[in-house]
Amino acid sequence: MVAAGYAFAVMVDFPQLHNPALRYIPVEGCEPLSFGAAWRAGACPPALRRFVTLLEETLRPAAGEKADLAP
């Protein structure tokens, strides 16, 4: 919606995902936010494993951190 010119947004800043057609400015004075992925306990289909792998590869978690996919 933002890239199409229909909206503006306050959003998490992931520099590796910036769209060159958009302008990003930092919002100063805000506490950092923490995001994560959630799914139903005991469920871990192949699509979920792939999704979590893509998150790990894209967002580059700190060294040694991995998603807990245990049921």
CB neighbours of 13 closer than 8 A, spacing ≥ 6?
A: 24, 26
Residue 12 clears pLDDT 60, i.e. is over it:
yes
The alpha-carbon radius of gyration of the chain (Å, integer) is 16
Residue 5 clears pLDDT 60, i.e. is over it:
yes
> Whole-model pTM?
0.41
**71 neighbors 41 (Cβ within 8 angstroms):** yes
pLDDT at 60: 65
pLDDT at 65: 58
The tens digit of pLDDT for each residue in 13-66 reads 888 888 898 998 888 887 777 777 888 888 788 999 899 888 888 876 555 556
Q: What is the dihedral of CA 61, 18, 12, 26, to 10 degrees?
A: 120
